[in-house]
Amino acid sequence: MSQSIAAPVRPAFTLKSFNLGRWAVWGLFALALAVAPLLWTSSLAQTMLSQVGIAIIACLAYNILLGQGGMLSFGHAVYGGLGSFLAIHTLNMVSAGKLALPVSLIPLVGGASGLFFAALIGWVTTKKSGTTFAMITLGLGELVWSASLMIPEFFGGEGGVSGNRVVGKPFLGITFGPQIQVYYLIAVYCFVCTALMFALTRTPLGRMLNAVRDNPERVEFIGYSTQRIRYIAFMLSGLFSGIAGGLAALNFEIVTAEVVGAARSGAYLLFVFLGGATFFFGPIIGAVLMVFALVLLSELTKAWLLYLGLIFLFMVMYAPGGIASLIMMNLRVAAFGKLRRLWTGYLALGGTVLVMLAGAAAMIEMLYHRQLNAALGPKMKFVGITLDASGVDAWFGACFVLLTGVALFEVSRRAFKKEWDQAQEEIEHAIKQREES
Amino acid sequence: MSAEFAVELNDLRKSFGKTEIIRGANLKVKPGERVAIIGPNGAGKSTLFNLISGRFGASSGEILLHGQRIDGLKPFEINRRGLARSFQVSNLFTRLSAFENLRCAVLWSLGYRYAFWKFLADLRDANERAEEVLAMIKLDKKRDVPAMNLTYAEQRALEIGITIAGGAGVILLDEPTAGMSKSETQRFIGLIRDVTAGKTLLTVEHDMGVVFGLADKIAVLVYGEVIAFDVPEAVRANPRVQEAYLGSVVADGQAAGH
């Protein structure tokens, strides 16, 4: 069988070197999780790394449905979110002395809750597929969201439910008070859950889930119930989502209703797609991007959702396989020793994209400045330059930069496409020769 | 199974809205028989297959597999009782490789069900069986090619491979050679004969060459009824069949000649 880390979508393209490097890949992953907080030691970095660990579990869990099973869920925040709430209530019971449970096991309570609610709700949703499935998940997501406002006893109303993770006797000096201790708890859960979810793709259920994605009808004629396969996968996804939710409850020590909301569900979909749903490691990239966008980009500019939307738009149009598929395509080119001559093309593309971005971003920022900061006057700072948001000069200049960028981009894109297509042709030829010999 | 018939249809009927497509079809196929179902366009051949395999529910009547009722069961329940079918338009797991397609097709019959605590790589019997079928349908060189990147003839072969891989005793093939060239068809008939040896076989076919190459008995379906079911020579001599197939031709000839 193909032993690569990539999901078995294009086994013909995956790299042989990965077979040998399976252990190396997992070793590097563990090392990265262990070493990351030693390299980036600021408290912001620790906060972000903790969130990345949680997001990796959540995005991989979501991709069991989207990438592995072809199920488009618009309400997947529900399972992680309810896991968060039950975890924080459990934590508070531990604090109150009503329950004796180590804090390190509370994410498993979240997992059990996620599993329970997925078993309950999935029984209904997985009876349908395709658009109907998507609509039902959307409806149920809204249902739970509105319930969260109606039942403040459980969901804590607008203020949410808060807790304190420093409870019980310290174990080997671990109190989970400092962020770094929570990070390492998250890292351990992240590694184990990632390994388990990868293992799932190598099992009969995991492979039949791919079969259901490709052709649900035929699955019924080789002895399997598509509904049962979807239902089990849905429950497993709920389990891992719930673990992520439980970790989030410990990490933030507060859970508000937004964790079950449509915006969170949408973020999972968007970033898993950006990362690449067709490969196992795609959602990991998506999770990193998600935290960077939500924490850093939102600090950097008020228009961050607009930028995110634009990136998503271009991704759907030009690289529907996400970043993971771009990486795999380039690795394939590299494996045939043809990446070197695409270098200049990439450089040109990158440069022209930057020019385009500068023009577009200047205009977006000026527009936002005029709408939101009118009281501060028309002058604003943009990457070190002072722009007059009400002046014709600045708008004309930005427009000029953008148009120049677009024109140059188009020229370099055409040149790049020619090179790329030629490289692909040569690779196909090489593969054919290999097959014949 | 000690039942007298592998497949038995008793007064089977199917209506879509007010239109009755299958109108009281009766057929009794003995174990090991190889039957070709022929008939003019719109006679209900594909509908009959869809009823037997559980894709559609019957309006009335009985379908028996090895003496047990299977009408009203879901397709996967019928498949588990030992009946597998192929499709007229290739119905594959497009993004999975040829090998993975076949391995999926053997998992249930080997008892792996919905297991998520076993690795596929460790399932020796499933892997061996998938490789064996891959060699039987002569796709071993295309083992790791995604199904959607195979040629048309290769996809047709994989379609048959998925159908037989689970080891079902009763095989239904819906126009297995549709869209193939003459030489491909010849090769393909040999392949089907090999892989279905010893099984009960029902095929829908238009190509008379394929019919005589594959079947020991022919069932003629006209307007949703089986009007003849016998060895080829007897079917050819049957006046009702001649009327159904040649009626218009004879009438034209008489009008012109006399």
Q: Provide the CATH number for the domain around residue B153.
A: 3.40.50.300
Does the beta carbon of A246 lie under 8 angstroms from any beta carbon of chain B?
A: no
User: Is residue B2, in this structure, part of any structural domain at all?
Assistant: no
Contact B91 A218 (CB under 8 A): yes
Q: What pTM did the predictor assign?
A: 0.91
Contact B97 A12 (CB under 8 A): yes
User: Is residue B53, in this structure, part of any structural domain at all?
Assistant: yes
A203: left (phi over 0), alpha (psi -120 to 50) or beta: beta
CA distance B220 to B240: 10
Q: Kindly list the residues from chain A whose CB atom is less than 8 angstroms away from the CB atom of residue B76.
A: 219-225
Chain B: residue whose CA lies nearest to A216: B93
Contact A211 B84 (CB under 8 A): no
Q: Kindly list the residues from chain A whose CB atom is less than 8 angstroms away from the CB atom of residue B90.
A: none
Per residue of chain A (437 residues), give pLDDT as tens: 333 343 444 444 444 445 667 889 999 999 999 999 999 999 999 999 999 999 999 999 999 999 999 999 999 999 999 999 999 999 999 999 999 899 999 999 999 999 999 999 999 999 988 899 999 999 999 999 999 989 999 999 888 999 999 887 777 778 898 999 999 999 999 999 999 999 999 999 999 999 999 999 999 999 999 999 999 999 999 999 999 999 999 999 999 999 999 999 999 999 999 999 999 999 999 999 999 999 988 888 888 889 999 889 988 888 889 999 999 999 989 988 888 888 888 999 999 999 999 999 999 988 888 888 777 777 887 877 888 878 888 899 999 999 999 999 999 999 999 999 999 999 989 888 887 77
Chain B: residue whose CA lies nearest to A214: B93
Instruction: Nearest by CB to B116, from A203, A220, A221: name it.
Output: A203
Does the beta carbon of B118 lie under 8 angstroms from any beta carbon of chain A?
A: yes
Tell me the nearest-neighbour CA distance from B197 into chain A, angstroms: 20
ipTM reported for the complex, 2 dp? 0.92
Residue A105: φ, ψ to 5°: -95, -5
Q: β-strands B60-65, B68-69: how paired?
A: antiparallel
Instruction: Nearest by CB to A206, from B99, B116, B123: name it.
Output: B116
User: Is residue B187, in this structure, part of any structural domain at all?
Assistant: yes
Report the 10 Å Cβ neighbour count for A67.
Answer: 28
CA distance A105 to A92: 14
Instruction: Nearest by CB to A11, from B97, B107, B114: name it.
Output: B97
Q: Residue B116 belongs to what domain range? A: 7-257
Does the beta carbon of A2 lie under 8 angstroms from any beta carbon of chain B?
A: yes
- The answer to whether A61 touches A73, Cβ cutoff 8 Å, is no
Give Cβ neighbours of residue A391 (< 8 Å, ≥ 6 apart). A378
User: Is residue B179, in this structure, part of any structural domain at all?
Assistant: yes
DSSP state for residue B141 in the 8-state scheme:
G
Does the beta carbon of A225 lie under 8 angstroms from any beta carbon of chain B?
A: yes
> What domain count does chain B have?
1
User: Is residue B1, in this structure, part of any structural domain at all?
Assistant: no
Does the beta carbon of A228 lie under 8 angstroms from any beta carbon of chain B?
A: yes
Q: Kindly list the residues from chain B whose CB atom is less than 8 angstroms away from the CB atom of residue A199.
A: 119
